[in-house]
Amino acid sequence: MAGLAGAQTSDQGFRLGAVHASDSGMASADLNMVNDRGTPTRRRPIRRLDAVAQNRIAAGEVIERPASAVKELVENALDAGAGRIAVTLADGGKRLIRVEDDGAGIPAAELALSLERHATSKIDGDDLVNIATLGFRGEALPSIAAVSRLYIVSRPGEAAAEIGAVAGTIEPARPAARAPGTTVEVRDLFCATPARLKFLKTARAETQAVVEVLRRLALSAPGVGFRLTDLGEDPATGTPRVLLDCPPERGETEAARLARASRLMGADLEADGVAIAAEREAFRLSGIAGLPGLARGSAVHQYLFVNGRPVRDRLLLGAVKAGYGDFLIRGRHPVFALWLDCPPAMVDVNVHPAKAEVRFREAATVRALVVGTLRRALGAAGHEGGSTLSATALAQMTPIEGPAAGASNGDAAERARNLGAGALRWMGAARRPATGGEWRPPAPTATEPLPGLAETATPFALPAGAEAAHAESEEVALNHPLGTARGQLHETYILAETAEGLVIVDQHAAHERLVLERLKRERAEQGIKRQALLIPEIVDVGAEAEGVLAAAEDLAALGLVIEGFGPGTLCVREVPVLLGHACPAALLRDVADELATAGTTEGLEARLDAVLSRMACHGSVRAGRRLSLAEMNALLREMEATPGAQWCNHGRPTSVRLGKADIERLFARR
């Protein structure tokens, strides 16, 4: 017994309230108390909990599930300077967690101390500011030891030693054999706290959580090799399965981080992500941000590191979200791995038991750096960037076989439609045109008058000399990033030829973004220009009318002037000039809808941005409208001039690109 009380005693101390009144035998015990369930209890004298009870309580905070034990043990290995770390699990970590490293080891004389609470080799207690290690609280090993069967064997120098603990009761250390480094083995986690055991999920879910924790740690230390092996349910009989295997990445820090990120987060990120590198004052931000098309339905694959420490910090996550802004539709979550580095004194890491949150001394600077960098990087991702068809998509474009295609036209059309849907993966079903699927002859030539341009909702501003642009030489025309329009498909997609290949633009998605950016520009400059409706429109909005009315002033700043008009009814007086002849009723209903879904959880600014984005939709050219070549080219040129135009207001790409080489590959010319 290394000076700690046995598990037995601790259980007594732990089960507060289950003690007879006579236990306390003191006058003060007569003081009757009522607990919050209304049961009378007796006050017991204050006494210090013994070490095992303290550790079990701490374990409740620090060790929530197998994945949190893995996190603490691997962090210890990293702090010990390990070059390779191997983790082995059985039954989702419930029966076995083993972490082996080749780090500095623990001297035999300190093994018992390593299992004591608030005992650490990492800080001296004086300086909580310059913390460079992942651990420093001295809580993990004693917490795990208090709720499991723990075994450590370690070799710091020439001699190895081992120590064991069962539910907090420590056996004396004794000599052992091992290569330099440390092995920590945790068996039957939570055997001492059955209540916690009951809360664990299936082995599969717990294993998944461990994989996620290891991914995070592996990203935080790209120079270290990681391997995770699952032994299945029974550690004695299971066949080992390697779930994660990363060799140490060589090279400079930032290059190694990127290499590790592509290894762990998939080839998609490499192809459809932008590299980030920026500095502001003492802070540096680097890593990779997935383009909006990679966004997921849940917040997976979001990795943040502060000075190499994995965090899930609210300030940072909020800043990233703001950086993506209207490149993403609500409910979609971007994919990213971002590292923030700064002098240790600029950040307090001692604000969270699991060290997931941090506090910055200059939070505003950090936010500005993150928001600004992401906004710029995503906006400038370029028309060559993310929307290139991926290799996977290309692979789905199988040739249409032989004469059968001609024989059964319907089939061929169906086939073509399916191929298109599969291959052009960015264009979701939502934007599939309602029109038929057959291929049309090329759109009318440029000599035809621009049909309906004057009376369209918001024609693209045909730049002065748009006609002249037509006269530009083939070479110049093809060298525009989005090329020169050759035709329109399904009255929805613009086909443009570039020097490099073929570009397909979703006319509605693209124009929607252009209108939004123009609205934002107006708002930032002289305010959004409004025009009064000749006849004010009365709109029945229903229950949401009140919420809309409450926002009347903010909406007026966005160019939409409304008034109350009896219960559930509103009157639209003015609309933004840019929205042209948009239907005021449909516009207002959409705005009401947006305000209602955004609720009050989001900041005012974010809600108004969302409203503006909805409004833009009403001012944009629809799918299903025939465009002339001049109109198409005007749209392409404005897209090139507008940052962020490669994403629609919901973060879907507005264009996709097929390279000449890709086309040649499709026809087996390469």
Among 141, 335, 504, 528, binds ligand ADP (CB under 6 A): 141
For residue 545, give both structure tokens: 């009318």
344 or 433: whose CB is closer to ligand ADP? 344
| Rounded CA separation 306/313 (Å) | 9
CA neighbor of 196 nearest in space, from 294, 72, 395, 61 = 61
CA neighbor of 153 nearest in space, from 163, 141, 139, 165 = 163
Distance of CA 355 to the CA centre of its chain: 19
134 or 658: whose CB is closer to ligand ADP? 134
Determine contact, residues 389/656, Cβ cutoff 8 Å: yes
| Rounded CA separation 423/57 (Å) | 55
140 or 598: whose CB is closer to ligand ADP? 140
Total residues contacting ligand ADP by CB under 6 A comes to 21
In the sheet that 561-564 helps form, which strands lie side by side, from edge to edge? 530-540, 569-576, 561-564
3-state secondary structure of 571: strand
Only segment of 136-144, 420-428, 629-637, 655-663 that touches ligand ADP (CB under 6 A): 136-144
Closest distance of CB 174 from Mg ion, Å: 23
106 or 200: whose CB is closer to ligand ADP? 106
174 or 296: whose CB is closer to ligand ADP? 174
Only segment of 71-79, 94-102, 161-169, 403-411 that touches Mg ion (CB under 5 A): 71-79
DSSP character string of 299-345? S-SEEEEETTEEE--HHHHHHHHHHHGGGS-TT-B--EEEEEE--GG
Among 105, 135, 156, 644, binds Mg ion (CB under 5 A): 135
DSSP code of 157? S
- 138 binding ligand ADP? (CB under 6 A): yes
163 or 264: whose CB is closer to Mg ion? 163
Among 88, 98, 136, 426, binds ligand ADP (CB under 6 A): 136
Closest distance of CB 182 from ligand ADP, Å: 4
DSSP code of 350? T
135 or 164: whose CB is closer to ligand ADP? 135
Question: Pairing relation of β-strands 359-360 and 336-341?
Answer: unpaired
Only segment of 72-80, 87-95, 402-410, 638-646 that touches ligand ADP (CB under 6 A): 72-80
- 103 binding Mg ion? (CB under 5 A): no
CA neighbor of 328 nearest in space, from 649, 71, 657 = 649
User: From residue 645, how far is each of 145, 229, 479, 636, 649 by CA, in Å?
Assistant: 56, 45, 18, 10, 9
Query: Which of Mg ion, ligand ADP, none does residue 102 bind (CB under 5 to 8 Å by kind)?
Result: none
| Rounded CA separation 376/368 (Å) | 12
Closest distance of CB 106 from Mg ion, Å: 12
Only segment of 13-21, 137-145, 236-244, 472-480 that touches ligand ADP (CB under 6 A): 137-145
| Residue in the shown chain whose Cβ atom is closest to Mg ion | 135
307 or 387: whose CB is closer to Mg ion? 307
- The letter for the amino acid at 311 is V
For residue 618, give both structure tokens: 């009403």
For residue 103, give both structure tokens: 């780090």
105 or 619: whose CB is closer to ligand ADP? 105
Neighbours of 643 (CB within 10 A): 12
Among 78, 82, 140, 648, binds Mg ion (CB under 5 A): 140
- 122 binding ligand ADP? (CB under 6 A): yes
CA neighbor of 3 nearest in space, from 218, 169, 224 = 169
Burial letters 343-381, b for 16+ CB under 10 A, else e: eeebbbbeeeebbbbbebebeebbbebbbbbbbbbbbeb
Contacts with ligand ADP in 620-649 (CB under 6 A)? none
DSSP code of 653? B
Determine contact, residues 25/15, Cβ cutoff 8 Å: no
Determine contact, residues 621/458, Cβ cutoff 8 Å: yes
Please report the sign of the dihedral spanned by the C-alpha atoms of residue 32, residue 33, residue 39, residue 44. Answer: negative
97 or 106: whose CB is closer to ligand ADP? 106
Among 182, 207, 498, 628, binds ligand ADP (CB under 6 A): 182
- 589 binding ligand ADP? (CB under 6 A): no
Among 55, 88, 120, 387, binds ligand ADP (CB under 6 A): 120
Among 66, 92, 93, 135, binds ligand ADP (CB under 6 A): 135
Determine contact, residues 482/640, Cβ cutoff 8 Å: yes
CA neighbor of 492 nearest in space, from 471, 510, 519 = 510
Only segment of 74-82, 223-231, 417-425, 588-596 that touches ligand ADP (CB under 6 A): 74-82
* N- to C-terminal Cα separation, the chain: 74
- 592 binding Mg ion? (CB under 5 A): no
Closest distance of CB 136 from ligand ADP, Å: 5
Closest distance of CB 93 from ligand ADP, Å: 17
| Rounded CA separation 364/377 (Å) | 20
| Residue in the shown chain whose Cβ atom is closest to ligand ADP | 135
Total residues contacting Mg ion by CB under 5 A comes to 3
User: Could you identify the residue written with the tokens 């639209």?
Assistant: 572
Query: Which of Mg ion, ligand ADP, none does residue 164 bind (CB under 5 to 8 Å by kind)?
Result: none
Only segment of 119-127, 300-308, 422-430, 620-628 that touches ligand ADP (CB under 6 A): 119-127
Closest distance of CB 156 from ligand ADP, Å: 8
Closest distance of CB 72 from Mg ion, Å: 5
- 76 binding Mg ion? (CB under 5 A): yes
- 519 binding Mg ion? (CB under 5 A): no
CA neighbor of 272 nearest in space, from 281, 286, 261, 257 = 261
118 or 626: whose CB is closer to ligand ADP? 118
Query: Which of Mg ion, ligand ADP, none does residue 103 bind (CB under 5 to 8 Å by kind)?
Result: ligand ADP
Neighbours of 448 (CB within 10 A): 12
Query: Which of Mg ion, ligand ADP, none does residue 651 bind (CB under 5 to 8 Å by kind)?
Result: none
Q: Pattern 37-56, binding to ligand ADP, x per CB under 6 A?
A: --------------------
Contacts with ligand ADP in 79-118 (CB under 6 A)? 80, 101, 103-106, 114
Q: Which residues bind Mg ion (CB under 5 A)?
A: 76, 135, 140
Q: Which residues bind ligand ADP (CB under 6 A)?
A: 72, 76-77, 80, 101, 103-106, 114, 120-122, 135-141, 182
